[in-house]
Amino acid sequence: MAQELKAMNIDIVPNIPDISVVYALIIAAAVGGVAGYIGSLMVTKRMALMGGALGHLTLPGVAIALRYGFDVSLGALAFLSIGIFIVWILEQQTQLPTEALTALVFASSLSIAFLYLPHEETEHALLGNITQISFTTCIITTVAAFMVFFVIRYMYKKLVLMSISNDLAQVDGVNVGYFQLIYLICIACMIAMGVRIVGGLMTAALVAIPACTSRNVCNYLNCYAYKSLFFGSLACIIGVLISVYSTIPVGPAIIITSTGIFLLSIFIKR
């Protein structure tokens, strides 16, 4: 029977997913889950839209990485660090409010990005790209995501207390400035990793939507945090699969999936 099938040019070996798709699913599950977990804090602290602003700041780094052929997450993290430092310096040297300085730096970075961004790579930079993921990239990204998770997990209750009142946290012995800095560094790392799968335009949704979904179905803190992680991973895995088996870019596929899960959670809540 096998010889007859071979004679008819019919492949009897079952379809095996391309290894890059497997790597993409691993990265999506790790980054999406941890982004949702950290997003549960960002929503509580009313910082969800900060993810979008930081995503725009990564674009010059992504553009340079694509032009010169190195890892986009490294380029994104480098420019993210530079941008945050510039905002801090300008805040010390001027009397302008932080949000005004942030808008200035982010808008400037977006302009710089389009000066360096190769036209053929524009869609990948803005909407994400999972077609060229190596084993090394998969391992490093996954390990980095888990490191961020354990750091945030260790600080979670302190950060929740800080979101209620910095004064109350200080009375309880929490070093507010130190934990706030570590928290911002963790956010920056997740945004840099998230750019790979959803691009530079939709990073706010990557952290915010799973947390909003979790809030619809949870009534206590641990449930809220861990279901944010679950919904983030689920949306990213489904979104990657939709992108692989259709013509939809990976970023929109993930965010549309996450939005669909959120809408479903509204009916579950009722």
pLDDT at 9: 46
For 183-209, what is each residue's pLDDT tens digit?
A: 878 887 888 788 778 776 677 788 888
Does the pLDDT of residue 13 top 60, yes or no?
no
35, two tokens = 């982004």
Q: Who's near 116: CB < 8 A, 6+ residues apart?
A: 60, 63, 64, 67
Q: Which helix (H) or strand (E) holds 48?
A: none
Q: Who's near 215: CB < 8 A, 6+ residues apart?
A: 43, 224
pLDDT at 231: 92
Structural domains present in the chain: 18-269 (1.10.3470.10)
Q: Which helix (H) or strand (E) holds 172?
A: none
Phi, psi of 180 (to 5 degrees): -65, -40
Query: With DSSP H G I counted as helix, E B as strand and the rest as coil, what are the percentages for the chain, rounded to 5?
Result: 80, 0, 20
Does the pLDDT of residue 148 top 70, yes or no?
yes
- Cα gap 190→186, rounded to integer Å: 6
Does the pLDDT of residue 159 top 90, yes or no?
no
Does the pLDDT of residue 119 top 80, yes or no?
no
Regarding predicted confidence, which is higher, 167 or 1?
A: 167
- Segment 16-35 mean pLDDT: 82
Does the pLDDT of residue 105 top 80, yes or no?
no
- Segment 212-220 mean pLDDT: 84
- Segment 80-103 mean pLDDT: 68
Q: Who's near 127: CB < 8 A, 6+ residues apart?
A: 198, 199, 201, 202, 249, 250, 251, 252
For 232-243, what is each residue's pLDDT tens digit?
A: 999 999 998 988
pLDDT at 10: 40
